[in-house]
Amino acid sequence: MLYLVPTPVGNLADMTFRSVDILKAADIILCEDTRTSGVLLNHYQISKPLWSYHQHNEHKVLTNLIENMQAGKTMALITDAGTPGISDPAFLLVRECIKNDIKVECLPGATAFVPALVNSGLPTNRFVFEGFPPLKKGRHTLFTQLSAETRTMIFYESPLRLVKTLKEIATYFGQERQCCVSREISKKFEENKRGTLAEVIAHFESKTVKGEIVIIIAGAE
């Protein structure tokens, strides 16, 4: 079978007891980067075969993974951070497992946008997750469509593109739209900057931005 195992988005202590048990019991652990995952696995004294599974090879290795699970192997899929399938590889493998009657189970655990949404102070009863905005093609169309969205909106972004993306959003949504930018979630220097788009842009323009970024934008009234 296949287990989808969430990993910490920041603090290594955010692993669940069950996640550690599943990784220790699995025959093979699939991971994006063996070096990054090695730090986590060493921390929890987990020693298992590590196979690379990421967006650049997922089509190439898919048949081999299915054949190994059909032969009786239990695999656990982890990503560099967070829940597999949320802006990370997993969908293709899950779909193929379902087609081949291979049991799939996703454990509950860390997902960056959940704490960012909850502590943003913006409505949480209805929201839409957009992940990383397109780099070029489709960007204008996306922001144009979302400018009238009434639900709270969630984006992921690179720290290098944060200010540029916030400025673009402001041109479509207006400078006074409320937002919150969270970074370094669950780490020592976690930051949650709340305010209007204009205020948040000014804050991040004046500093070097590091860490994983989650942008929460209030819906249109």
Q: Are residue 99 and residue 157 in the same domain, yes or no?
A: no
Q: Are residue 20 and residue 43 in the same domain, yes or no?
A: yes
The predicted pLDDT at position 8 comes to 95
Q: Are residue 209 and residue 117 in the same domain, yes or no?
A: yes
The predicted pLDDT at position 213 comes to 96
- Helix, coil or strand: residue 194: strand
Q: Are residue 88 and residue 9 in the same domain, yes or no?
A: yes
Q: Are residue 155 and residue 212 in the same domain, yes or no?
A: yes
Give the structural domain span for 181.
113-217
Domain-ending residue, one of 53, 71, 106 = 106
Q: Are residue 79 and residue 119 in the same domain, yes or no?
A: no
How many alpha carbons lie under 13 Å from residue 185 in its C-beta half-sphere?
Answer: 24
Q: How many domains does the chain have?
A: 2
Domain-ending residue, one of 106, 125, 157 = 106
**CB burial of residue 196 (10 Å; 0-12, 13-18, 19+):** middle
The predicted pLDDT at position 86 comes to 93
Q: Are residue 84 and residue 41 in the same domain, yes or no?
A: yes
The predicted pLDDT at position 80 comes to 94
* Centroid of chain to Cα 29: 19
How do strand 50-52 and strand 104-106 relate by DSSP bridges? unpaired
- pLDDT per residue, tens digit, the chain (221 aa), is 999 999 999 899 999 999 999 999 999 999 999 999 999 999 999 999 999 999 999 999 999 999 999 999 999 999 999 999 999 999 999 999 999 999 999 999 999 999 999 999 999 999 999 999 999 899 999 999 999 999 999 999 999 999 999 999 999 999 999 999 999 999 999 999 999 999 999 999 989 999 889 999 999 98
Q: Are residue 77 and residue 159 in the same domain, yes or no?
A: no
CA distance 208 to 33: 26
